[in-house]
A = this chain, B = another copy of it.
Amino acid sequence: MAVTMNDVARVAGVSLKTVSNVINNYEFIRPATKQRVLDAIDELGYEANLTARSLRSGKTSMIGLVLADLSIPYYAELASDIMKAAWARGYRVLVEQSGNEPEHEKAALQGQFRTLTDGLLFIPLALDAEQIIHAAGKKPLVLLGEYVQDPRLDMVLIQNHQAAAAVTAHLLAGGRRRIAVIGAHDGDTTGSNGLRLEGYKAALADAGVTYDPALVIDCDWRRDGGAEATARLLDSGVDFDAVFGLNDALALGALHELLVRGRKVPEEIAVAGFDDIDEAKFASPSLTTVAPGRTEIAERAVELLINRIENKDAALDVQQPEAAFELRIRQSAP
Which residues from B are CB-within-8-Å of A92?
94, 96, 113, 116
A71 touches B77 (CB 8 A): yes
Is A54 engaged at the interface, CB distance under 8 Å to the other chain?
Answer: yes
B48 touches A282 (CB 8 A): no
- Choose among A52, A259, A284 the residue with the greatest number of B CB atoms under 10 Å from its CB: A284
Shortest distance in angstroms between A60's beta carbon and chain B's nearest beta carbon? 6
B95 touches A50 (CB 8 A): no
Interface residues of A in 255-292 (CB under 8 A from B): 255-256, 259-260, 278-279, 281-284, 286
Contact with B along A63-82 (1 / 0, CB 8 A): 00000011101001101110
Q: When chains A and B are docked, how far (Å) is the Cα of A284 from the Cα of B60?
A: 46
Choice from B50, B76, B260, B286 contacting A71 with Cβ under 8 Å: B76
Q: When chains A and B are docked, how far (Å) is the Cα of A282 from the Cα of B257?
A: 8
Which residues from B are CB-within-8-Å of A73?
73, 76, 279
Is A40 engaged at the interface, CB distance under 8 Å to the other chain?
Answer: no
Q: When chains A and B are docked, how far (Å) is the Cα of A73 from the Cα of B55?
A: 36
A97 touches B80 (CB 8 A): yes
Is A115 engaged at the interface, CB distance under 8 Å to the other chain?
Answer: yes
Identity of the chain B residue whose Cβ is nearest the Cβ of A87 in the assembled complex: B97
Q: When chains A and B are docked, how far (Å) is the Cα of A49 from the Cα of B54?
A: 11
Interface residues of A in 88-128 (CB under 8 A from B): 92-97, 112-116
B95 touches A95 (CB 8 A): yes
Shortest distance in angstroms between A260's beta carbon and chain B's nearest beta carbon? 8
Interface residues of A in 26-69 (CB under 8 A from B): 47-52, 54-55, 58, 60, 62, 69
Which residues from B are CB-within-8-Å of A176?
none
A51 touches B116 (CB 8 A): yes
- Choose among A1, A92, A281, A282 the residue with the greatest number of B CB atoms under 10 Å from its CB: A282
Which residues from B are CB-within-8-Å of A55?
49, 51-52, 55
Is A84 engaged at the interface, CB distance under 8 Å to the other chain?
Answer: yes
Is A140 engaged at the interface, CB distance under 8 Å to the other chain?
Answer: no
Which residues from B are CB-within-8-Å of A49?
55, 115
Is A253 engaged at the interface, CB distance under 8 Å to the other chain?
Answer: yes
Given A70-B80, A76-B76, are A112 and B54 also a contact pair (CB < 8 Å)?
no
Shortest distance in angstroms between A215's beta carbon and chain B's nearest beta carbon? 22
Shortest distance in angstroms between A214's beta carbon and chain B's nearest beta carbon? 26
Is A223 engaged at the interface, CB distance under 8 Å to the other chain?
Answer: yes
Given A76-B76, A95-B83, A284-B259, are A112 and B70 also a contact pair (CB < 8 Å)?
no
Shortest distance in angstroms between A19's beta carbon and chain B's nearest beta carbon? 16
Choice from B48, B51, B87, B97 contacting A54 with Cβ under 8 Å: B51
B80 touches A69 (CB 8 A): yes
Given A112-B48, A113-B50, are A95 and B93 also a contact pair (CB < 8 Å)?
yes
Q: When chains A and B are docked, how far (Å) is the Cα of A177 from the Cα of B22?
A: 66
B223 touches A115 (CB 8 A): no
Q: When chains A and B are docked, how far (Å) is the Cα of A251 from the Cα of B94?
A: 32
Given A50-B113, A55-B55, A113-B50, are A71 and B278 also a contact pair (CB < 8 Å)?
yes
The 10 A-B residue pairs with the shortest CB-CB distance, nearest first, are A76-B76, A70-B80, A71-B80, A259-B284, A256-B282, A51-B54, A71-B77, A223-B282, A50-B115, A51-B55
